[in-house]
Amino acid sequence: MFNEAKEKFENIFNGTMPEDEAKNYLVELYQRGESAEEIAAAVEVMRSHSIKLDMNEELRAKLIDVVGTGGDKSGSFNISSTVALLLSSMDCYVAKHGSRAITSNSGSADMLETLGINLNLDPKKQVKLLEETGFTFMFAINHHPAMKYVMPIRKSLDHRTIFNILGPLTNPAGAQKYLIGVFSDDFLSRIISALQLLDTKSAVAVSSKDGMDEISICDVTYATMLKDQRTTDFIIDPQEYGFSLAPSSAILGGDAKYNAQITLDIFDTKEKGAKRDIVLLNAAMAFAVEGKARDMQEGIEMAKEAIDSHRAKKHLQTIVKTSNLL
């Protein structure tokens, strides 16, 4: 199954498969459900066709991405992007792979740009920003030119395709650590199994009971972890860590300007409610995936320290300044 899927995706990305045939194949995958082997094969091919970031392997081994598939229609603010910025303030190296809004009012790129970060950097400058600040952003569209053969097909369909899953798994910097939010818990084991087939170092895939591609503050979240090539399923209950459950309305976002202000308010310690809590939960798991924290509880304390000391706020200012000087 892996080799057959790999051959088909090579033809799709090379533009040698007729559009109708490619469309039928993507619809077939969607209807029967993509297997871990097919996801892994597609990821391997998509990565091979991407424009990668050139860096030393010591730095690459440190990279983590905090990313979601999107499509959860929760209307939340940019949680993953806020977490990514927070992580970089605590000596993590975050290679954020994202785009502008597709299924939301504000994509990661929209919000980060509104914060003042210069995202119009070539790959060399992206690496420079990463080296100097522990954070960089890669526009998906600029790093996956072969997607030009796929975009017309995606636009012609009224449902998701495998590419909704592939985006978060095809980081151009070659990150080997992932906190991945998934739109449906049906895909947790398949995505983690795919990453296992691709020899990923450490990863956790999460999908909440209330349908978020994040660790939710409104309900329990289902999770699958990959560590040392072993997988573990578990449930994250915010109440076990001292948080009160909140209504989904408490974490709603808006446009890029509105969401950027939420991030600033969290980092400035003005926001102390559910929005801060959901950032703490997701940052805690990311610290655990990265290896900085032994467990969620220690990760929560690290995230609190980053915010309450204004370390995250000051580091964001450094990222903005550095990105605009490059």
Sequence-distant (6+) residues with CB within 8 A of 47 are 170, 174
The arithmetic mean of pLDDT across residues 1-8, rounded, is 95
Contact 173/97 with Cβ under 8 angstroms?
A: yes
- Is the predicted pLDDT of residue 72 greater than 70, yes or no? no
Share of the chain above pLDDT 70, in %: 98
**The pLDDT of residue 104:** 61
The stretch 230-246 carries a mean pLDDT of 97
Interatomic CA distance for residues 174 and 167, integer angstroms: 13
| Alpha helices in the chain, H assignment, sequence order | 2-14, 19-32, 36-48, 57-60, 79-89, 108-114, 123-133, 140-143, 151-156, 163-166, 188-197, 256-267, 274-290, 296-308, 311-325
Mean pLDDT computed over every residue of the chain:
94
Q: In CATH, what number does 59-139+174-325 get? A: 3.40.1030.10
Structure tokens at 249: 């309305």
pLDDT at 71: 64
Where do the domains of the chain lie?
A: 59-139+174-325
Residue 297 has pLDDT above 70, yes or no: yes
Tell me the angle at which helices 79-89 and 311-325 cross, rounded to the nearest 10 degrees: 90
Residue 216: the pLDDT is 98
| pTM for the full predicted model | 0.95
Counting Cβ atoms within 10 Å, is residue 171 exposed (0-12), middle (13-18) or buried (19+)? buried
pLDDT number for residue 107: 82
pLDDT bin (cut points 50, 70, 90) of residue 315 is: very high
Helix, strand, or coil (residue 205): strand
pLDDT of 243 over the 60 cut: yes
Q: For 151-173, write each residue's pLDDT tens digit.
A: 888 888 888 899 988 988 999 99
| Mean pLDDT value across residues 19-44 | 96
Res 68: pLDDT: 86
User: Cα dist. 67→6, 167, 199, 240, 320 in Å?
Assistant: 24, 9, 19, 24, 21
Give the whole-number percent of the chain exceeding pLDDT 90: 85
Q: Residue 101: pLDDT above 70? A: no
